[in-house]
A and B are shown apart, each in its own frame.
Chain A
Amino acid sequence: MIEVNALSKQFGSFKAVDEISFTMRPGEVFGLLGPNGAGKSTTISCISGLIPPSSGQISISGHDLIRQPCAAKTRLGIVPQELAIYEDISVAQNLRYWGAAYGLRGAKLSERVADVLEVIGLVDRGWDRPKDFSGGMKRRLNFGCGIVHEPDVLLLDEPTVGVDPQSRERLFDMVRAQIARGASVLYTTHHMEEAEALCDRIAIVDKGRKIAEGTLAELRAQVGQRDIITLTGAFGLDPALAGVLPEGIAVLQADMDRLTLETEDGPARLARLLDALAKAGAEVRETVVRRPNLESLFLKLTGAELRA
């Protein structure tokens, strides 16, 4: 449904997206996971035709975005990170407007507005203005405006930012409903739990580059069964640490005030590790042990926290 091939976007000397490639299949949720500033939103902006790529190709349902923009865009629905709705016109009027913007007309448009009102659970509020709605209701309308024309591909750019857990679950249900009707979804997030819960396949991006891609199982396999231990405190110079650390513990990243380590069965080895560090004169203030997950994979691949 979407083929992205060697997509790059450069702003002056800054390369926001660096040769990213991936393919999305029908009925699939494809996650773009990465920290803020990794290039996810720029990638989405290029795919949605908002900004032209510096190089590379994007094809949506077989239509090249640059050469056949209308054909490509009609098959694409977007749910932006920030709300993009009119709060001073009614919910139904919002849906009509965005439906018309995607080329719907007449009975089909009215039918779709009625359907979407049901999908987003705002049938009773169709003629109300969203300005008095809760944040969750506005988010649902924001989602509805992106699916009113029944797109083949739905782009969701960090759709859960500032959303309460209940509304997030409702949003996930709406995404699953789109999958059930055969659409594919490109979902960007920096929340590893969301990616794990929703995505069939995930690409991890950092500093504009794709650093890993696969199903959740495939990515977990890359981490292995090794835990990630993160220590905060005062550690001195890292060359001195090599001889201090107990056997079987590897250094992923070492700074004066922060150590990221990898080991099997982390909780069991923690006491020995802390003892060794104390003997070496290091001061440990905080200890975090993580089981293998996407976040630990990200840590392993980049040495940085996903939520940083």
Chain B
Amino acid sequence: MTFLIASILKNLQRITAQPWSVAIWIGVPLLVGGLLSAVMGGSDGETPKVHLLIADEDGSFLSGALVDMLAREELGDLLILEPVATVSGMATLDEGEASAMLVIPEGFQTAFLASEPQALRLVVNPLQQILPEMAVELTRLIADFGSYAQVAFGPELDAVGQLIAETADVAGPETASAIGALASGTATKLMRAFPHLTAAPVEIAVETTEGAREASFTMLFFPGLLMMSVIFAAQGLAEDLWQEREMGTLRRLRSTVAPLGTFLLARVVSSSFALVLVILPLGLLGFTLLDLDWGSLPLTLAWLTLAGLMLSALASLIQVLAPTRKSGALFSSLVFFPLLLVGGSFFPLESTPNFLATFGRFTPNGIMLEPLKAYLIGTGDLAAFAPILGISLAATLVLTAATVWRLQAGFATR
């Protein structure tokens, strides 16, 4: 225990004796983040909106009602609706000037009222990554709502269809009676369904859309920027193993009774402090600028520290496997620079091509980054962290065990 504490104190003193290293671990991501946000649009407070073209080929009462639903207050904040003809809408999409086009086919109302299957067509702009996905989600929501209505109010819809057909004829007392029966039946069903409707998809959709509202480029990039800082720190902390070796202290340690495991445990503890030291200022800055929930800060710090320990364990193994200090630095860069680029730490995965984003989500930094980002944006929950927590802890243990083996196998005694 005394050696563990002495070793932790020694490590911390050595880290604080190099303030420039810590400044670089913080400063470079800050600089990169600032530049990229400036180039990509930043977080100027403007809510990104989906430019949705509406091609209403049906031109009916129900197709109009559908468009009205999209224009409702909550959805209206997310959508810019533009009525177009299908052909001109396609041309607008081809020019990349809209996110998606919703085509309401002719016969939509008739099919809906007859409880027949009907399909809306959504054409998305492949040049945009995020906004079309939002359009897909929003229109799917509306379609789901329509489908539920179709199932729940089948007889009433039939009656409405009949009434619409009869409007051509002269309306009489029978019509008034039918409207009264329709209103009464609908009200009864709504009253029964009300408890279930409170947990209806509409509510869930509101949460989804509010989270997506905040997903500006800077917001999407912020967790990656923190991860970039963590990666720099992890690499720097791991390189210290070579310094210990070159100073002869690692070799001297092997002639004492102190176990290498305790030496590495002390490094884990002191590295955690160093990682918090690096993450905290960037985190405070980001949470303030992006107006994030301060309650998420402890989780963010803990999660990124865990990520840093795993990445530091990986970097340490690379260092002790390398035959020279120079090659250690080179191998480390060869591994971590691509991870930075692909794993969402340099560009948000949302702005990279799909195949690359899929790959990036499975990189060591990507796998840690995605649940945190979803949580901060508001589209993820705590349960998503659990499996990755297990994976990262297991990976850290395996990598550390391999490093101990390598230290014992010769790295520490040369």
Q: Is the CB of B2 within 8 A of A86?
A: no
Q: Nearest chain B CB to A26's CB is how many angstroms away?
A: 21
Given contacts A80-B251, A86-B249, A109-B2, contact A102 B17 (CB under 8 A): no
CB of A161 within 8 Å of the partner chain = no
Given contacts A51-B413, A84-B248, A109-B2, contact A98 B9 (CB under 8 A): no
A79 nearest CB neighbor, chain B only? B252
Given contacts A96-B6, A97-B6, A104-B2, contact A83 B248 (CB under 8 A): yes
A45 nearest CB neighbor, chain B only? B413
Interface residues of B in 233-267 (CB under 8 A from A): 247-249, 251-258
CA distance A261 to B235 in the complex (A): 61
CA distance A145 to B248 in the complex (A): 13
Given contacts A80-B252, A86-B249, A109-B2, contact A101 B257 (CB under 8 A): yes
Q: Nearest chain B CB to A152's CB is how many angstroms away?
A: 14
Given contacts A97-B7, A106-B2, contact A85 B249 (CB under 8 A): yes
Interface residues of B in 256-284 (CB under 8 A from A): 256-258
Q: Nearest chain B CB to A154's CB is how many angstroms away?
A: 12
* Residues of the A chain whose Cβ atoms lie less than 8 Å from the Cβ of B253: 101
CB of A238 within 8 Å of the partner chain = no
Q: Which of B17, B249, B256, B413 has the most CB of A within 10 A?
A: B256
CB of A76 within 8 Å of the partner chain = yes
CB of B10 within 8 Å of the partner chain = yes
CA distance A109 to B258 in the complex (A): 15
* Residues of the A chain whose Cβ atoms lie less than 8 Å from the Cβ of B256: 73, 98, 101-102
Q: Nearest chain B CB to A257's CB is how many angstroms away?
A: 38
Q: Is the CB of A100 within 8 A of B2?
A: yes
0/1 string, A101-145, CB within 8 A of B gives 1: 111111001000000000000000000010000000000000001
A76 nearest CB neighbor, chain B only? B255
* Residues of the A chain whose Cβ atoms lie less than 8 Å from the Cβ of B258: 100-102
Q: Nearest chain B CB to A79's CB is how many angstroms away?
A: 9
CA distance A89 to B13 in the complex (A): 6
CA distance A74 to B17 in the complex (A): 31
* Residues of the A chain whose Cβ atoms lie less than 8 Å from the Cβ of B5: 100
* 8 Å CB contact of A97 from B10, B257, B413: B10
* 8 Å CB contact of A78 from B7, B18, B255: B255
CA distance A100 to B253 in the complex (A): 11
* Residues of the A chain whose Cβ atoms lie less than 8 Å from the Cβ of B3: 97, 100-101, 103
* 8 Å CB contact of A88 from B9, B17, B255, B413: B17
CB of B14 within 8 Å of the partner chain = yes
Interface residues of A, CB < 8 Å — how many? 36
CA distance A84 to B9 in the complex (A): 18
B410 nearest CB neighbor, chain A only? A51
CA distance A129 to B393 in the complex (A): 37
Q: Is the CB of A84 within 8 A of B13?
A: no
CA distance A89 to B257 in the complex (A): 22
CA distance A102 to B9 in the complex (A): 17
Given contacts A97-B10, A105-B2, A106-B2, contact A89 B255 (CB under 8 A): no
Q: Nearest chain A CB to B271's CB is how many angstroms away?
A: 17
CA distance A111 to B258 in the complex (A): 20
CA distance A301 to B259 in the complex (A): 43
Q: Nearest chain A CB to B406's CB is how many angstroms away?
A: 16
A105 nearest CB neighbor, chain B only? B2
* Residues of the B chain whose Cβ atoms lie less than 8 Å from the Cβ of A78: 252, 255
* Residues of the A chain whose Cβ atoms lie less than 8 Å from the Cβ of B255: 48-50, 73, 76, 78
CB of A82 within 8 Å of the partner chain = yes
Q: Is the CB of A88 within 8 A of B13?
A: yes
CA distance A52 to B393 in the complex (A): 34
* 8 Å CB contact of A50 from B9, B18, B254: B254
* 8 Å CB contact of A93 from B13, B247, B413: B13
Interface residues of A in 146-161 (CB under 8 A from B): none
Q: Which of B6, B253, B258 has the most CB of A within 10 A?
A: B6
* Residues of the B chain whose Cβ atoms lie less than 8 Å from the Cβ of A51: 413
Q: Is the CB of A89 within 8 A of B2?
A: no
Q: Nearest chain B CB to A56's CB is how many angstroms away?
A: 18
* Residues of the A chain whose Cβ atoms lie less than 8 Å from the Cβ of B10: 86, 89, 93, 97
A49 nearest CB neighbor, chain B only? B255
Q: Is the CB of B6 within 8 A of A100?
A: yes
CA distance A229 to B76 in the complex (A): 106
CB of A256 within 8 Å of the partner chain = no
CA distance A109 to B3 in the complex (A): 11
Interface residues of B in 1-51 (CB under 8 A from A): 1-3, 5-7, 9-10, 13-14, 17-18
* Residues of the A chain whose Cβ atoms lie less than 8 Å from the Cβ of B17: 88-89, 129
B249 nearest CB neighbor, chain A only? A84
* Residues of the B chain whose Cβ atoms lie less than 8 Å from the Cβ of A82: 248
CB of A70 within 8 Å of the partner chain = yes
A74 nearest CB neighbor, chain B only? B257
Interface residues of B in 369-414 (CB under 8 A from A): 413
CA distance A74 to B14 in the complex (A): 26
CA distance A129 to B18 in the complex (A): 13
Q: Is the CB of A84 within 8 A of B247?
A: yes
CA distance A48 to B5 in the complex (A): 25
Q: Which of B17, B18, B255 has the most CB of A within 10 A?
A: B255
* Residues of the B chain whose Cβ atoms lie less than 8 Å from the Cβ of A80: 248, 251-252
CA distance A158 to B18 in the complex (A): 32
* Residues of the B chain whose Cβ atoms lie less than 8 Å from the Cβ of A129: 17
* Residues of the A chain whose Cβ atoms lie less than 8 Å from the Cβ of B9: 93
Interface residues of A in 45-92 (CB under 8 A from B): 45, 48-51, 69-70, 73-74, 76, 78, 80, 82-90
A-B contact pairs, 19 of them (CB 8 A): A49-B255, A82-B248, A83-B247, A84-B252, A86-B247, A88-B13, A88-B18, A89-B10, A89-B13, A93-B13, A99-B6, A100-B2, A100-B3, A100-B7, A101-B257, A102-B257, A102-B258, A109-B2, A129-B17
What 7 A-B pairs come out closest when comparing CB atoms? Answer: A84-B248, A105-B2, A100-B6, A84-B252, A101-B256, A101-B258, A100-B3
